[in-house]
Amino acid sequence: MTNRRDVIKTIVAGSALASTSTLFSSFKDLIPLDNNLKGNINHSVCRWTYGFLSLDELCQLCEQIGIKAIDLVGPSDWETLQKYGLYSSMCNGAEINLVDGFGEVKFHEQLVKNYTNMIPLVAKAGYKNLICFSGNRRGMSNEEGLINCTKGLQQIIPLAEKHGVTIVMELLNSKVNHIDYLADHTSFGVELCKMVGSDNFKLLYDIYHMQIDEGDVIRTIQTSHPYIAHYHTGGVPGRNEIDESQELFYPAIMRAIHQTGFKGYVAQEFIPKNENKRASLAEAIKICDI
């Protein structure tokens, strides 16, 4: 199964070859969308899921659809986003990887160094969210993992508070895509937020991942929203389009998010499988624009 790690490697390897001169003008005929969006949801898209486009192409597509931000973009690409007036809604680049995270003390020294360097850069660029990961469990209990994560995160939170940056831990499923991942349930993340004890540490609630590991998506959003800084989408099963081919009804989920008073971003993180992949993104925005 295609995953984020593999696609990001492909994006990085191919970035030097990506041309800014594109066939984008022909995209307009392929995307049926009235981009007069309602403004109740702040829309974003994850860079890695549209890695078959150069960043310039993706920015142009976002402009056409009405998407205002792109997720999971690091400092080397912020200038390109700014050229198109797009926001970096979830910054990355400080993490080691998805499996070696704050859950293990042996990674703390490197992580603290990485985040200490990155937090000021995020703030200087005018951004707010910086992603982090718990890493894998590797035999740890939840209690041990919570204690370890807290010890590591509390070393960087004062700097995040100083610069107005929120460190955001993503919740991932440990059943299908990220076997043995530690922060695989919302309850773990909420308890960690309480232990860290700062408004500058919150959660990335990935709807796709949490549907797989726990379900009960709307009620969880309603009860846990004070601890959630960001959302990701994805069709279940398969992590493909969020249309009628999968089991979640995204308009109801978006209404639940909106009703909590959420002002952050909802980023599309599905892997398009339809022939017209650009239209799939436009359709996803239409579905979520409640």
* pLDDT (average), residues 164-170: 98
State how far the Cα of 9 lies from the Cα of 73, in Å rounded to an integer: 13
| pLDDT at site 31 | 52
Q: 34-75 pLDDT, tens per residue? A: 568 999 999 999 999 999 999 999 999 999 999 999 999 999
Partners of residue 70 on adjacent β-strands: 45, 88
173 pLDDT band (50/70/90 cuts)? Answer: very high
State how far the Cα of 19 lies from the Cα of 15, in Å rounded to an integer: 9
| pLDDT at site 36 | 83
Of 235, 252, 256, nearest in space to 244 by CA: 235
Task: Give kind and range of the element (H or E) at residue 29.
Answer: none
State how far the Cα of 215 lies from the Cα of 236, in Å rounded to an integer: 11
Q: 64-105 pLDDT, tens per residue? A: 999 999 999 999 999 999 999 999 999 999 999 999 999 999
DSSP for residue 155: T
Task: Give kind and range of the element (H or E) at residue 92.
Answer: none
Tell me the torsion sign for CA atoms 204, 210, 211, 216.
negative
Least-confidence region, from 5-19, 139-153, 247-261: 5-19
Q: Which residue has the higher pLDDT, 12 or 23?
A: 12
* pLDDT (average), residues 261-279: 98
pLDDT at 4 over 70: no
Do residues 47 and 70 touch, judged by C-beta distance below 8 A? yes
The full set of domain ranges for the chain reads 41-269
State how far the Cα of 109 lies from the Cα of 201, in Å rounded to an integer: 19
8 pLDDT band (50/70/90 cuts)? Answer: low
136, two tokens? 């894998």
| pLDDT at site 278 | 97
* pLDDT (average), residues 250-263: 98
Alpha helices in the chain (DSSP H): 4-14, 55-65, 75-83, 108-124, 142-153, 157-163, 186-196, 207-213, 217-224, 250-259, 277-288
Under CATH, which architecture does the 41-269 domain have?
A: Alpha-Beta Barrel (3.20)
289, two tokens? 């624009």
State how far the Cα of 265 lies from the Cα of 147, in Å rounded to an integer: 29
State how far the Cα of 73 lies from the Cα of 191, in Å rounded to an integer: 28
Give the distance, in angstroms, between the CA of residue 146 and the centroid of all CA atoms in the same chain: 22
Neighbours of 117 (CB within 10 A): 11
Do residues 264 and 12 touch, judged by C-beta distance below 8 A? no
Average pLDDT, the chain: 92
- The three-state secondary structure class of 272 is coil
42, two tokens? 């702040």
Give the distance, in angstroms, between the CA of residue 187 and the centroid of all CA atoms in the same chain: 19
